[in-house]
Structure 1
Amino acid sequence: MKISLNWLKNYIDISLPADELVKGLTGLGIEVESVEDQLNKLKNFVIGRVIEKKKHPNADKLSVCKVDAGTGELLNIVCGAPNVDSGQTVCVALPGAIIPNGNFEIKKSKLRGEVSEGMICSAKELELGDDHSGIMVLDTELVPGTPFSEYLGYNDVILEIGITPNRGDLLSHIGIARELGALTGSKVKEPAVKNDFSNVSLDEKIKVNIENPKGCLRYCGTLIEGIKVKESPNWLKKYLVAAGLRPINNIVDVTNYVMYECGQPLHAFDYDAIEDKKIIIRSAAGDTDFITLDNKTRKLREDILLICDGKKPVALAGIMGGLNSEINNETVNVFIESAYFDPVLTRLSSKFLGLQSDSSYRFERGVDIERTLWASKRAAELIAELGEGNIVQGIVDVYPNRLKAPEVEMRISHLNRISGIQYNKDEVSALLERIDINCVNSENGSMKFRIPYARKEDLQREIDLVEEVIRLDGYDKIGIPDYDTLYFDLRDFSGADYDKLREIRKYIVGRGFKEVISNTLVEESFQQKFNDNYISLLNPSSDKMNVLRSELYTGMFEVIRMNFENSNNSLKLFETGNSFKYDEKGNIAENKSILLVMAGEYDYKVFSQKQRNFTILDMASEAEAIIAKFSVENIKKI
């Protein structure tokens, strides 16, 4: 997640330098992976003026230009853009510049026999837009040689923040501002929605029906008419580029802006493409495929949640919109969707489709269900302003099963015992109120706190609140004891079965075997070579590890292969572990086993005899020795 400091300052007063900010966020348990100064990113990009353009003598589609880039001498630059012409003001990448789109360095070189001392850039090459049909012609009076960052107004510092799966509330600038407010004591300033929208229903314009209320808990929307789809203003494009996004048009850019502002994903529909003026949220059921915005056909599963109009699907709920209702240059009326989709269902659907978007990334981690309506109104106001449209008075807000704000109790004595610090109730309340966690009841040494919806996936137990108090107060305040105490349950490492297994392992090691631990997960196509009684995973992390091993040896083959490939040609290995299969009643059975492996060259060399390989007789003798040593009964020979 990229956070722009300039963008962040819209919501909180920040006076700390970037390095102090990084230190503070790290102290709060938020990892800052990198810090990027935009001035350095656009180093060696300058304003240039094309003085002369001539046809390339050896290439029909290339031009040779003389460009004033403020270096003292005119630069010779070979350009392939059809729209380049003398008199234009352009962006020039000097030798040493790193092109953002492609991450390659510009060097002085020859193109078809002509020296080229730089590059005249297009918007796409600079990640400032989609247009790559020609170079970007600038409308500016800035003199040649002026840093291009000055033309763009780029003076931002970008923080790349690593977000853990439990902290979906940090996937926005307001979310990070809230954390910084806890650090500095500053108040977060959220943008106000100025239009009252009359808060009446939009039923006359569009009807919404949630057929799957478990998949979609809340669905909100607003409508803007008479808009003009055009390029976004520079301030909006700057913020999006800083966040790592590519500006598209004023409508789509606003939905992305609001998502990165508050963490609520939005989707803009062409209202006139919505048939029967109905929105139906349902499972895919009979639908087998769907074409998404990226013009790819997606095969559907019946439990995938769809957004449909009166006749057809128009979006994959929480993941991506459809090509049949996208915003285009002819769009004049826009319906803004803002919803809460179930995190688990979104995750399963995204994994099945092999499609992750900024929206699904947030829905999977849980968004703030109380933010949905605000986000829709906020986007409507910005679209009306930037698209010169009119907001239709009224809202869509379908919320069939209203959630109750979660509450969690915490004992002060438990907090003090875990932290080693003596807190009182007032101190605890003051710390948690910084991040909008308020005490609703306090009695008998216990406090009950109301958890914001944005944190309901993260703060569910007493120990979670304990961690929050310690985190906000500062981990560095936890004292270091004079001695360490290690607690463990001896019952986990004792008992007749454990003692017997330890004795067997010790004996096998004494006979020259090395113990290995192989993966319990194996590839299905490999497992099928041995038997078909195996257990498949519903949601495997890899197609190479998608079933549980039915026998220990299925995992051991990979160990043997890797050793042989690395010239370790004499192996005596053993493993103790569990294997899994279905029993006669169809229940999952977990079996403990010991596996011996002897492979390759015999491990005892006699110089007077020719080197030989292990044989089945060697294995039989080892097995018989173990059987005799431990008086194993009920032996089945195969």
Structure 2
Amino acid sequence: MHILLSWLSDFVTCGSAEALAERLALAGFPVEGLEEVGRLDPRIRVGRLVAVDPHPETERLWVCRVDVGDAAAITVVSGAPGLAAGQRVPVALPGSRLPDGQETRVATFAGVASAGVLCSEAELALGDDGGRVLLLSPDAVPGTPLVELDGVADTVLELEVTSNRGDCLSILGVAREVAALSGVRLRHPRPRPREVGPPSAGDVRVRVESPDLCPHYCARLVRSVNVEPSPLWLRLRLRRAGMRPVNVIVDATNHVMLERGQPLHAFDWERLAEHRIVVRRAAAGERLVTLDGVERALDPPDLVIADARGPVALAGVMGGQASEVTAATRILLLESAFFMPSAVRRTARRTGITSEAAYRFERRVDPAMVVEALDGAAALITRLAGGRTAPGIVEDPPGGWMPELPAIRLRPRRVAALLGVGVPRAQIGRRLSALGASCRPDRDALLVTPPSHRGDLQREEDLVEEVARLGGYDAIPVSLPEAPLTSGEDSRARVAARRLRRLLTAEGLTEMVTLAFTDAQTNRLLPGFVGRRLVPLALQNPLSSETGELRRSPISGLVRALRANLGLGAGFVGAFEIGKGYGLDAQGRRQERRTLAILLCGTWPPRGAERSGPPVEFGDLKGIVENVLADLGVEEPRVRWRPLGEEALLHPGKGAIIEVAGTAIGVAGALHPKIAQTCDLAEEVWLSELDFEILADYGSRRVELRSLPRFPAVTRDIAVIVDEAFPAAAILEEVRSLADDRIEAVRLFDCYRGAPIPEGKKSLAYSIAYRAADRTLTDEEVSGVHAGVLQRLRERFPLELRA
């Protein structure tokens, strides 16, 4: 936001530019630049053309007699067009220096001496037009240094305004801040146009059909206007504020917008069908040619200003060509309205239009400024364009509209808690009253009603910030914050995650943290265990096609990392991730389930004198999972490894579902060959995914301590030959199911294939431990129990006992 110091001084006494910049910066408005403009050489004066005669020797030049305030007029030769006696023009006298550094001298043109230069606005750095002499106001006194004319010399501050402070996107808004910070009086004149002629209500009708998007719309008529260039002071203000002068009508509305923060628009009343204004949502298929000459297709959510034929403007964004003000315009319809920020923001983003009006409407304008700004524009146009303002304002709803302003309860102790320093309640009230807020006591607090222009003040913390700003952040003493030191109890999930990380790292695995985004194909191929029943969640604005969805399982990230590591020559990748999978459940609700994902691939790193380690196999993955469960306190007899069945993720013959007490908690096995081929993985990849929520529940259970057994155990081994498809866990479950307290434990310790075992068979070796709690078992006792176990296995399974 560019702030002109002379313009700001119309509303508040602000002192030097440097002091003002420092004060604003300390209040949260950094000044990014400070520039002195229009500081012209005093020898560049106002001149009155006494006479303009053709040059006696050439047709392209004029010999001008110019009154520059001295006793006698001087002679100046010029080739500029449009010169006429009586005009006031800038004259650079000999010895004066122009802004570009050139120095003027007496020169002779075809025998006529020229004692000065008639300057264009481009030569004086006051504008872009270099083809004609700058015409000054007829009231300018000859001989006055140009730098002394109103608006020529100025100081411009470039102010950084945050997105929540739309009220400071105007001269008046910044003046309010300066007055509150400095304690000086704010001068806030309310313009009142002189009304003549028939009332506006007889010549224009206004109807708002979408009050949820436009709760207040006002219109005024100004008749008999002359559309011409704006005076110098107005053009200079607009240029230095960053806007391009167009004509006196458009410039007047822009001037009021920059001054008071309320965007306005001027329609050619005679080009509005039936002289009717309807504020409504666009209809499907409607189109509008905006002021930039682009034909735009409208969407039903767009708010438009329409006449009897159709849309004539995009509300709050840009007007239309069909009703724009031209040199032939004689009657104006001036618009001032409050448009909802969300509606303007949506249309501006969709169409890609960036305008000063949309920039302000998006950040919320002051609803109390709608009528005041409309009156200001009408008064300025009447003064500059010779118009006659029609009596009355046509508005919908009749009588105007103001939103309900919230009363916020502000506690002084809350101010002290947030700022770290106490502020007396009376001082809090004075500071907030300086902003225009009303304060009334409420027991030990204040009830604060913010002014209408401060839509950003919505909660107690917002008011605390204002108290600190107005008091000065630099006035808050530097001190170390005090905080009580307390110890909290870790959550169940954090404790479990810490235990899992420690255990898996000890197993030789590396923890990975991968992105939660993935592409649609990978999300379909690698749904994981928990995410297989979830519908993928697509991103509305993805960074790329490779990050278009939220992953259903951390396995997708591990597989991507595996490909990267194998591409860099890694011989072994052992990794795990504790992360979330995302998706929609059957009821359409968003789910974020944490899982433990494990990945193994390649050959184990060599140990000792080994040249290479053994290849990774299912037993390695199974051992890691069993160690995880054991560390979390899950007893081995409660764990079951079931055949996988139909599972798209894993190899149908090399996978298992892991159950604890009959509840499936995860899967483990080899990646399905088709998926591995799609992912360009030549080596076998072993994966496991466990439901972290279930694991965390086990990890949080109490550990029971038992005394060591007093009597020794006796172990007996058995080896059986079974079919290749026979599940080794079947014998473990059968032995454990025997109701004999003397059978303490059973485990599988070997699986052998090869001679002399027949083709299609395998040998399984088990160790059974026998123990009694009250005595040492005899060999006869153990042999009897062991024989019963062997007999039970022969009866239950098709197997052959090995000697």
Contact map agreement 1:199 1:395 (CA 8 A) in 2: no
Superposed, which structure 2 residues align to 1:473-552 within 5 Å?
473-482=471-480, 484-485=482-483, 490=488, 494-508=490-504, 511=508, 513=510, 515-516=512-513, 518=515, 520=516, 533-536=535-538, 540=541, 548-551=549-552
Assess, with a 3 A threshold, how the Cα gap between structure 1 residues 537 and 398 changes in structure 2: closer, same or farther. farther
SS at match of 2:254: helix
Match of 2:450 in 1: 451
Q: CA deviation at 1:136?
A: 4.9
TM-score normalised by the chain length of structure 2: 0.60
Assess, with a 3 A threshold, how the Cα gap between structure 1 residues 438 and 153 changes in structure 2: closer, same or farther. closer
Q: CA deviation at 1:418?
A: 2.8
Contact map agreement 1:289 1:298 (CA 8 A) in 2: yes
Q: Provide the C-alpha distance between the structure 2 equivalents of 1:568 and 1:200, rounded to a whole number of angstroms.
A: 85
Q: CA deviation at 1:4?
A: 1.6
* Aligned residue among 187, 206, 209 for 1:208: 206
Q: Which range moves more in the overlay, 418-427 or 324-333?
A: 418-427
Contact map agreement 2:99 2:125 (CA 8 A) in 1: no
Q: Provide the C-alpha distance between the structure 2 equivalents of 1:578 and 1:172, rounded to a whole number of angstroms.
A: 48
Q: CA deviation at 1:319?
A: 0.9
Match of 1:76 in 2: none
Superposed, which structure 2 residues align to 1:76-475 within 5 Å?
128=127, 135-138=131-134, 154-195=152-193, 197=195, 202-399=200-397, 402-439=402-439, 441-456=440-455, 458-475=456-473
SS at match of 2:368: helix
Q: Provide the C-alpha distance between the structure 2 equivalents of 1:240 and 1:555, rounded to a whole number of angstroms.
A: 57
Report the residue type matching 2:159 in the other structure: I
Match of 1:53 in 2: none
Assess, with a 3 A threshold, how the Cα gap between structure 1 residues 89 and 277 changes in structure 2: closer, same or farther. same
Match of 1:28 in 2: 27
Q: Provide the C-alpha distance between the structure 2 equivalents of 1:260 and 1:410, rounded to a whole number of angstroms.
A: 33
Match of 1:588 in 2: 590
Assess, with a 3 A threshold, how the Cα gap between structure 1 residues 39 and 529 changes in structure 2: closer, same or farther. farther
Q: CA deviation at 1:267?
A: 1.0
Q: CA deviation at 1:569?
A: 6.8
Assess, with a 3 A threshold, how the Cα gap between structure 1 residues 327 and 517 changes in structure 2: closer, same or farther. farther
> Once the two structures are superposed, what CA deviation does each residue of 1:399-447 show, in whole Å capped at 9, x if it has no partner?
36642333212122322333333333321221111111121x3131121
Report the residue type matching 2:591 in the other structure: A
SS at match of 2:217: strand
Report the residue type matching 1:215 in the other structure: L
SS at match of 1:577: strand
SS at match of 1:256: helix
Contact map agreement 2:511 2:576 (CA 8 A) in 1: yes
Assess, with a 3 A threshold, how the Cα gap between structure 1 residues 333 and 352 changes in structure 2: closer, same or farther. same
Q: Provide the C-alpha distance between the structure 2 equivalents of 1:139 and 1:39, rounded to a whole number of angstroms.
A: 16
Q: Provide the C-alpha distance between the structure 2 equivalents of 1:602 and 1:448, rounded to a whole number of angstroms.
A: 72
SS at match of 2:33: strand
Contact map agreement 2:553 2:582 (CA 8 A) in 1: no
Assess, with a 3 A threshold, how the Cα gap between structure 1 residues 548 and 94 changes in structure 2: closer, same or farther. same
SS at match of 2:201: coil
Assess, with a 3 A threshold, how the Cα gap between structure 1 residues 215 and 622 changes in structure 2: closer, same or farther. farther
Q: Provide the C-alpha distance between the structure 2 equivalents of 1:488 and 1:204, rounded to a whole number of angstroms.
A: 74
Report the residue type matching 1:269 in the other structure: F
Q: CA deviation at 1:152?
A: 10
Q: Provide the C-alpha distance between the structure 2 equivalents of 1:349 and 1:590, rounded to a whole number of angstroms.
A: 34
Contact map agreement 1:200 1:395 (CA 8 A) in 2: no
Q: CA deviation at 1:206?
A: 0.7
Which entry has the higher C-alpha Rg, 1 or 2? 2
Q: Provide the C-alpha distance between the structure 1 equivalents of 2:546 and 2:31, rounded to a whole number of angstroms.
A: 32
SS at match of 2:291: coil
SS at match of 1:281: strand
SS at match of 1:413: helix
Q: Provide the C-alpha distance between the structure 1 equivalents of 2:620 and 2:244, rounded to a whole number of angstroms.
A: 66
Contact map agreement 2:368 2:402 (CA 8 A) in 1: no
Establish whether residue 14 from structure 1 lines up as the match of residue 14 from structure 2.
yes
RMSD: 4.6
Q: Provide the C-alpha distance between the structure 2 equivalents of 1:374 and 1:219, rounded to a whole number of angstroms.
A: 13
Query: Aligned pairs, how many?
Result: 556
Contact map agreement 2:367 2:402 (CA 8 A) in 1: no
Match of 1:144 in 2: none
Q: Provide the C-alpha distance between the structure 2 equivalents of 1:2 and 1:515, rounded to a whole number of angstroms.
A: 50
Q: Provide the C-alpha distance between the structure 2 equivalents of 1:259 and 1:560, rounded to a whole number of angstroms.
A: 56
Q: CA deviation at 1:170?
A: 0.8
Q: Provide the C-alpha distance between the structure 2 equivalents of 1:513 and 1:329, rounded to a whole number of angstroms.
A: 75
Contact map agreement 1:4 1:239 (CA 8 A) in 2: yes
Q: Provide the C-alpha distance between the structure 2 equivalents of 1:328 and 1:609, rounded to a whole number of angstroms.
A: 91
Q: CA deviation at 1:94?
A: 5.4
Match of 2:751 in 1: none
Q: Provide the C-alpha distance between the structure 2 equivalents of 1:126 and 1:379, rounded to a whole number of angstroms.
A: 28
> Once the two structures are superposed, what CA deviation does each residue of 1:469-515 show, in whole Å capped at 9, x if it has no partner?
12111222323334542789946xx2222221233334455645353
Contact map agreement 2:554 2:581 (CA 8 A) in 1: no
Greater RCO (CA < 8 Å, at least 6 residues apart): 1
Match of 1:578 in 2: 580
Percent identity for Structure 1 against Structure 2? 29
Q: Which range moves more in the overlay, 529-538 or 349-358?
A: 529-538
* Structure 1 residues not aligned, in runs of 5+: 48-80, 97-119, 141-146
Assess, with a 3 A threshold, how the Cα gap between structure 1 residues 488 and 340 changes in structure 2: closer, same or farther. farther
Report the residue type matching 1:359 in the other structure: A
Report the residue type matching 1:406 in the other structure: P
Assess, with a 3 A threshold, how the Cα gap between structure 1 residues 579 and 548 changes in structure 2: closer, same or farther. farther
Q: Provide the C-alpha distance between the structure 1 equivalents of 2:355 and 2:197, rounded to a whole number of angstroms.
A: 31
Q: Provide the C-alpha distance between the structure 1 equivalents of 2:343 and 2:547, rounded to a whole number of angstroms.
A: 20
